[in-house]
Structure 1
């Protein structure tokens, strides 16, 4: 009996994103050796604790920007589209298969408004490089 692959597109499957990303994927290495938790402390003065709508996690925001630089994705719109469909990118950001990817306009707004006239991008880049160098000298 002939079966259409379309039937599979409509089926439900229990999957683990952890299992779908290969163990030797480059982003797994980045995740192992770079601790992005420092981002919260660096950006907290730039956020209001008790006003406005809840912000997306700044770690996710900066990891999205990191992905763009790391993989040469220059357009924020394209970056959003790539994250929507790339399982390794979703895994790296801590997004599940059904989680909504932060909109490209969120990246743009933060870059043009919240982080304007700050050194935050350079500070975060510098810390990532320092952690990478530190790892190299430990091994």
Structure 2
């Protein structure tokens, strides 16, 4: 068409590095650096079955989601 830009926006991309976007002194970086969340695995191990059912998602991820919700007042 005349006077239109025919570039498809779906073909455009940008490489973004999250390490560069989040400051080094950010609260969540410090929490991740100083707190070892592996204790959660030991706490929830009796509630997971290793040989039955679908593979589970990481309980540490669930805990971190709850922590984020608490810290940032997300209901």
TM range (shorter): 0.7 to 0.9
- Find the counterpart in structure 1 of residue 25 from structure 2: 24
**More relative contact order, 1 or 2 (CA 8 Å, 6+ apart):** 1
Residue 35 of structure 1 aligns to a residue in which SS? coil
Cα distance, 1:15 vs. partner? 2.4
Q: Deviation per CA, 1:69-102: give whole Å up to 9, x if none.
A: 111111xxxxxxxxxxxxxxxxxxxxxxxxxxxx
Question: Which structure dedicates a bigger proportion of its chain to helix?
Answer: 1
Cα distance, 1:10 vs. partner? 5.2
Matches of 1:10 and 1:20, distance apart in 2: 23
Unmatched runs of 5 consecutive residues or more in structure 1: 75-139
RMSD: 2.1
Matches of 1:48 and 1:68, distance apart in 2: 28
- Find the counterpart in structure 2 of residue 61 from structure 1: 62
Q: Tell whether 2:19 aligns with 1:15.
A: no
TM-score, normalising length: structure 1? 0.44
Matches of 2:62 and 2:27, distance apart in 1: 19
Q: Deviation per CA, 1:53-84: give whole Å up to 9, x if none.
A: 1111000011111111111111xxxxxxxxxx
* Max Rg structure: 2
Q: Deviation per CA, 1:26-50: give whole Å up to 9, x if none.
A: 1011111111111111111111111
Unmatched runs of 5 consecutive residues or more in structure 2: none
What is the number of equivalent residue pairs in this alignment?
69
TM-score, normalising length: structure 2? 0.77
